[in-house]
Amino acid sequence: MASRPTISKAVIPAAGLGTRFLPATKATPKEMLPVVDKPAIQYVVEEAVSAGLDDVLMITGRNKRPLEDHFDRNYELESALQKKGDASRLAKVQESSDLATMHYVRQGDPRGLGHAVLCAAPHVGHEPFAVLLGDDLIDPRDPLLQRMIEIQEQHGGSVIALMEVAPEQIHLYGCAAVEATAEGDVVRISGLVEKPDPADAPSNYAVIGRYVLAPQIFDVLRETEPGRGGEIQLTDALQQLATDEKLGGPVHGVVFRGRRYDTGDRGDYLRAIVRLACEREDLGPEFRTWLRGYVGQELSEG
């Protein structure tokens, strides 16, 4: 049997306007908002790299220059820190530019996630590739992408990430109809629907922002009409692949039960920062002590 091509490319859509975070995102991309002390996007690139994907393509748009600058050298800052002999801060500055081979393409018109992914076609070519959405952060101790790559290498086709959510939450996500397989954390996808009303949802399996896609997705996306919200939806293209295997192989789902931090809206973003700050070895112990006292006081004051 011919060996399947190894997956080495990650695509990160980052063209959104970030309107939920205005005015912070008027002149700063939402991907650059700090989660504790690192921009959200750096966690995502680090996750791709630790899954072995060191070729990263970001789909950007207007006003996204700070993303490119963040993953590039900053000689002025580096030489200032060098002169001061501040090795630990220098390492922090250099970390993001040494991470991966970065590429950028602009989306032009924001026509939806499916359209953003289609912009990656010339760079990706004919290999399977990963897509990581910046609003979802996955705890490095619960590796998801590695597992998805493993399943793609076993079965071919495409692999999506799923999480069980409360039925009243399913309208916020793509939703999958699933069939069990012999492996406990793997399901076969028989259908997908973008952000259904709870009454029409085929399950409570929500699509979360990690995908390993067969390159045939591009052919399907070229033919995909605008769907929910008038946008070209990745979920709709995956629905085509799932229901017509001849197009690009099967679609499997990995059911994720690990730690996921959502930074998509202000409430989730605040929760993500608190949770991640508590986990940090340097900041956590002191922050947790403060938080315990603060929460105790807040609750007692009702």
Contacting ligand G1P (CB under 6 A), which of 31, 47, 55, 136? 136
The span of 27-35, 219-227, 228-236, 270-278 binding ligand G1P (CB under 6 A) equals: 228-236
CB 137, min distance to ligand G1P, A: 11
Closest-by-Cβ residue to ligand G1P is 174
Q: Residue 28 has which token pair?
A: 């700063």
Q: How far is the CB of 106 from ligand G1P (least distance, A)?
A: 18
- Please state, in angstroms and rounded to a whole number, the distance separating the CA atoms of residues 121 and 34: 30
Piece of the chain touching ligand G1P by CB under 6 A; list 55-63, 197-205, 227-235, 272-280: 227-235
Whether residue 207 contacts residue 242, with contact meaning beta carbons closer than 8 Å, is answered with no
CB atoms < 10 A from the CB of 270, how many? 11
| Residues within window 255-284 making contact with ligand G1P, judged by CB under 6 A | 264
- 236 is a site residue for ligand G1P (CB under 6 A): no
> Is 41 a binder of ligand G1P (CB under 6 A)?
no
Residues 6+ apart with CB under 8 A from 188: 178, 179, 180, 181, 250, 251, 252, 253
User: Cα dist. 286→188, 269, 273 in Å?
Assistant: 45, 21, 15
* Residues in 106-125 at the binding interface with ligand G1P, rule: CB under 6 A: 113
Specify the residue, 96 or 158, whose C-beta has the smaller distance to ligand G1P.
158
Q: Are 66 and 29 within 8 A, CB to CB?
A: yes
- 172-201 positions binding ligand G1P, by CB under 6 A: 173-174, 194
Using alpha carbons only, how large is the chain's radius of gyration in Å? Answer: 20
| CA quadruple 18, 258, 45, 101: dihedral sign | negative
235 forms part of the interface with ligand G1P (CB under 6 A): yes
Stretch that binds ligand G1P, among 34-42, 65-73, 90-98, 202-210 (CB under 6 A): 202-210
**Which positions from 74 to 113 touch ligand G1P by CB under 6 A, shown as an x/- string?**
---------------------------------------x
Q: How far apart are CA 69 and CA 89, in angstroms?
A: 17
- Rounded distance between C-alpha atoms, residue 190 and residue 92, angstroms: 45
Q: In the complex with ligand G1P, which residue's Cβ is closer, 15 or 124?
A: 15
- Backbone angles phi and psi of 98, in degrees to 5: -95, 0
Residue 135 as a binder of ligand G1P (CB under 6 A): the answer is: yes
> Between residues 197 and 301, which has the closer beta carbon with respect to ligand G1P?
197
- Minimal distance in Å, beta carbon 12 to ligand G1P? 13
> Is 133 a binder of ligand G1P (CB under 6 A)?
yes
The two beta strands, 158-164 and 251-255, are: parallel
What b/e sequence results for 200-238 when a residue is b if at least 16 CB atoms lie within 10 Å of its CB, and e otherwise?
Answer: ebebbbbbbbbbbbbbbbbbbbeebeebeeebbbbbbbb
Closest to ligand G1P by CB, 55 or 194: 194
Q: Does 207 bind ligand G1P (CB under 6 A)?
A: yes
Return residues touching ligand G1P (CB under 6 A): 113, 133, 135-136, 173-174, 194, 206-209, 233-235, 264
